[in-house]
Amino acid sequence: MKHSPVKRYIALSFILIALAVLLGAFGAHFLEERITEDYMGTFDTASQYHFINALGMGVVLFILDKYIPIARCTRIFLLFLLGIILFSGSLYIISIADLVGLPQLKIMGAVAPIGGISLVAAWAYAGYLIITCQRV
């Protein structure tokens, strides 16, 4: 049985959710004693945004799959994926940069706003598509 690209995107969102749970547990059980309170807060923010947006990606794609062409679902998927990687990924990296002995990685903080813009664009585009869509 062949799966549509959107079903694969939704499956990937579930994998991203599992990764967010794992990273959240890693932060709570391993990092809490090893990084500063400020960096722990940054790591928690990364984990929360990662989880919420991965879940949102799956829900949005599940809803829109019945109403919009695959190409638009692909755009939504890519905006969410890029946002999660750039926003949460950069926050994860700067949180542990000192711990792994690479403080120069804190420059990755400059990437976070690009990821944030991508997440905002994903949600805004999803809203636009829901308002303007007709059953395909």
What does the H/E/C string look like for the chain? CCCCHHHHHHHHHHHHHHHHHHHHHHHHHHHCCCCCHHHHHHHHHHHHHHHHHHHHHHHHHHHHCCCCCHHHHHHHHHHHHHHHHHHHHHHHHHHHCCCCCCHHHHHHHHCHHHHHHHHHHHHHHHHHHHHHCCCC
pLDDT at 4: 84
pTM (two decimals): 0.93
pLDDT at 133: 79
Q: How many CB atoms lie within 10 A of CB 26?
A: 15
Please report, as a single letter, which amino acid is at residue 3.
H
pLDDT higher than threshold 90 for residue 107: yes
As a whole number, the mean pLDDT across the chain is 94
pLDDT higher than threshold 50 for residue 1: no
